[in-house]
Amino acid sequence: MIKIAAVVVGLAASVMAGPVSAQVKVGAVLSTSGPASFLGDPEKKTLDMYVEDINRQGGVNGQKLQLVVYDDGGDANAARTFATRLVEEDKIAAMVGGTTTGTTLAMIPVFEDAQIPFISLAGAVQIIEPVRKWVFKTPHTDRMACEKIFDDLKHRKLTTVALISGTDAFGKSMRDQCVAIAPKAGITIAHEETYGPADSDMTPQLTKIKAAAGIQAVVCAGFGQGPAIVTRNYRQLGIEYPLYQSHGVASKQFISLAGAAANGIRLPAAALLVASKLPDSDRQKSVVVGYQTTFEAKTGQPVSTFGGHAYDGLMILVDAAKRAGSFDSGKLRDEIERTQNYVGTGGVVNMSPTDHLGLDLSAFRLLEIKDGDWIMIPDSAS
Amino acid sequence: MAEFLQFTFSGLTVGAVYALVAVGFTLIYNASDVVNFAQGEFVMLGGMVTIFLGYAGVPVPLAAVIAVLITTAVGLALYRLGIAPARDASAVTLIIITIGASIFLRGVAEIIFDKRFHSLPALFGSDPIRIGGASILPQTVVVLASALLIVCLLWAFIDRTLYGKAVIATSANRMAATLVGINTRTIVGACFAISAAIGAIAGVLVTPITLTSYNVGTLLALKGFAAVMLGGIGSAIGAVVGGVLLGLFEAFAAGYVSASYKDAVAFLVILAVLFAMPQGLFGKRTVERV
């Protein structure tokens, strides 16, 4: 009789213990198909890979993570629907993802209302400015890219530039940021052109830039294949000014698309891109080399900074959960905001109540393309 | 002047691409009154299959031939599996089937290949030819010449061979064509196969200029279709002229107005032309017999 009672009690205990050790759901809405899939695809692979890894090592605070991923196809409406589903049906504890600025902005109200921490993987500065209580992000902003490029231009004593930007969200946002900070940085934007993201020839715009008076350098703000065509057309027209691209094209793919025309182009990019070339004294070296090796071994694809942003998002979340001791949404949020000296693939993160990104300009390295590879331009020597 | 010349070259570059895509529309339209919206996917397949065979170690020229053959097979399959079973349906229904096929092909390509952009080496290198302060890529000349060559071959095929006559007969009156002993199913099927082959050749040739990915087909088909409407649907030479004109409109709009409005300007011009000549520049006026 006592035995049976013990079994019953044991059963009851295990049933009651169930919810405590149950899995914690982490949500992600990523654009793994559609036009932004080259961002969303490595992000998803990274999250899958590292959640599995974390669970193999016993999870976080004794709880296993369960990743719930939806594919929005790059569509902001779909993203919002999935965000609502994550909140209402899946009851997630935290959210990593939102591949593009458009999908992220569409999802922000859902997570603000539900009071669930949301770490976005999208670029634009609007996501964290103004600061929203529950929203964070890991990638560098386009404003930082402009600042980094303008810094280098000033070092080279080139102050009058032409700007060519894509008419997609990324190009427009970066154009706006560059135009906004140019006066403060002492740079004059003397001529501006745009191109459609699917255009296959940009020579008319570049011809006008070539003909404009007083230009000393050209900055191209865009991502995808557009900047590769701009680069090819730039060489085709034989324009001699230095050409700067944005972090939006910081991948080996850009070099292979632009071919020999890419020689001499400068661009700001995360340390991940030059992982093996970093000096051993660099704080980020072990993190970026580790991520690169793991990603490339698991997927057989070259590493991209976009997957790195997902890695940073997940690790910031996990670190915060460990410090908070639970996945209670309020405590988790506070701890994410207290992230200090987190060394990630994107840079060293120091968040604060007024800064939900936590990166400074040192997170960007200035690279030059030479013979199909990147070389680092030291900050002082440029 | 150098600027004008450069805008013209830019227009020719883009126009040559549109022209080569547009030519692919004409044959299927002539044989079956169907505007094949999967034509852009044929172009995509031509480029992507060549590139991925190239990655697998196949030499590019051989890869291009295999790509054209595979795309031709896809064209035939589209006819056999999509169009032939619905042959009694109206042209509109068949057009909707081709839209479905285009979405399907895009989805399959996304899974089989990948989601990135790719490029192919240009036939005669990428050193621009400089003329009068402006420059043009050799590949543009290749694309334009190929478009014209394909038009000539199509013309010879339609006007000078018995099979060509059968295509005309099938398009004029399918019932009557069947009665005089033409196997109209074979004819229409062959037209799908040849159009697919033209699309694939276009894909191989334009990829060095436009770059390619699994989803470039939609936009190419849209621009190619606009070119076809401008040139007069069903006319191969009209497709080429329409394509080149569309490219020139865009380039001059980008050069002299603003790049932001180039599509709007180009389509306004097309609308104006179609108001004056509803059948397009080279289209035959169709007469409905009552």
Domain hosting B238: range is 2-276
Residue A291 sits in the same domain as residue A168: no
Contact across the interface for A37 and B115, Cβ inside 8 Å: yes
Contact A347/B at CB under 8 A = no
| Structure confidence by residue, pLDDT tens digits, A329-349 | 899 999 999 999 999 998 999
The answer to whether position B128 is within a domain reads yes
**A302 three-state secondary structure:** coil
> In angstroms, rounded to a whole number, what is the distance separating the alpha carbons of residues B128 and A34?
34
| Structure confidence by residue, pLDDT tens digits, A182-225 | 999 999 999 999 998 888 889 999 999 998 889 999 999 988 78
The tally of domains found in chain B comes to 1
> In angstroms, rounded to a whole number, what is the distance separating the alpha carbons of residues A343 and A75?
32
The answer to whether position B286 is within a domain reads no
The answer to whether position A3 is within a domain reads no
| Structure confidence by residue, pLDDT tens digits, B217-270 | 988 888 898 899 899 888 888 999 999 999 999 999 988 888 888 888 888 888
Residues A117 and A247 sit within 8 Å (Cβ to Cβ): no
| CATH code, domain carrying A188 | 3.40.50.2300
Contact A195/B at CB under 8 A = yes
pLDDT of residue A218: 95
> Among B1, B211, B248, B267, which would you mutate to test the A interface (most chain A Cβ atoms within 10 Å of its Cβ)?
B211
CB contacts, 8 Å: B255 with chain A: 204, 207-208
Kindly tell me if the per-residue pLDDT of B42 is higher than 60.
yes
Give residue B104's pLDDT band: very low, low, confident or very high (50, 70, 90): very high
CA angle B167, B226, A172 (to 5 degrees): 150
Residues B278 and B226 sit within 8 Å (Cβ to Cβ): no
Q: Minimal Cα–Cα distance from B214 to chain A, Å?
A: 10
The answer to whether position A5 is within a domain reads no
Kindly tell me if the per-residue pLDDT of A8 is higher than 70.
no
Distance linking the first and last C-alpha atoms of chain B: 54
The answer to whether position A83 is within a domain reads yes
> In angstroms, rounded to a whole number, what is the distance separating the alpha carbons of residues A307 and A268?
17
- Tell me the residue type at A102: G
Q: Given CA atoms B247, B249, B254, B258 in this order, what sign does their dihedral have?
A: negative
Kindly tell me if the per-residue pLDDT of A15 is higher than 60.
no
Q: Which residues pair with A368 in a beta bridge?
A: A266, A375
> Among B44, B116, B143, which would you mutate to test the A interface (most chain A Cβ atoms within 10 Å of its Cβ)?
B116
- Please state whether the peptide bond connecting residue A130 to the residue before it is cis, i.e. omega within 30 degrees of 0: yes
CB contacts, 8 Å: B118 with chain A: 257
Residue A118 sits in the same domain as residue A195: no
Q: Count of CB contacts below 8 A, A vs B?
A: 85
CB contacts, 8 Å: B134 with chain A: 207
The answer to whether position A178 is within a domain reads yes
Kind of pairing, strands A373-377 and A348-349?
unpaired
Give residue A138's pLDDT band: very low, low, confident or very high (50, 70, 90): very high
- Tell me the residue type at B289: R
Residue A246 sits in the same domain as residue A293: no
CB contacts, 8 Å: A231 with chain B: none
Residue A126 sits in the same domain as residue A259: no
Contact across the interface for B255 and A200, Cβ inside 8 Å: no
Residue A123 sits in the same domain as residue A54: yes
The answer to whether position A108 is within a domain reads yes
Contact across the interface for A208 and B255, Cβ inside 8 Å: yes
Contact A35/B at CB under 8 A = yes
CA angle A78, A84, A88 (to 5 degrees): 145
Residue A133 sits in the same domain as residue A209: no
| CATH code, domain carrying B26 | 1.10.3470
Contact across the interface for A200 and B7, Cβ inside 8 Å: no
Residue A100 sits in the same domain as residue A199: no
Contact across the interface for B263 and A196, Cβ inside 8 Å: yes
Q: How far is CA A336 from CA A95, A291, A352, in A?
A: 12, 21, 9
Contact across the interface for A196 and B135, Cβ inside 8 Å: no
> In angstroms, rounded to a whole number, what is the distance separating the alpha carbons of residues A103 and A86?
15
Residue A239 sits in the same domain as residue A325: no
In whole angstroms, how large is the CA radius of gyration of chain A? Answer: 23
CA angle B171, B176, B177 (to 5 degrees): 55
Q: How many residues does chain B have?
A: 290
Domain hosting A346: range is 24-140+286-360
In this complex, the residue of B130, B137, B259 whose CB is nearest that of residue A194 is B259
Considering only alpha carbons, which residue of chain B is nearest residue A167?
B260
Residues A122 and A142 sit within 8 Å (Cβ to Cβ): no
Residue A190 sits in the same domain as residue A308: no
Residue A179 sits in the same domain as residue A323: no
The answer to whether position B214 is within a domain reads yes
The answer to whether position A7 is within a domain reads no
The answer to whether position A1 is within a domain reads no
Considering only alpha carbons, which residue of chain A is nearest residue B249?
A204
The tally of domains found in chain A comes to 2
Q: pTM surpassing 0.95?
A: no
The answer to whether position B290 is within a domain reads no
Place of tokens 């404003």: A143
The answer to whether position A107 is within a domain reads yes
Residue A129 sits in the same domain as residue A63: yes
Residue A237 sits in the same domain as residue A368: yes
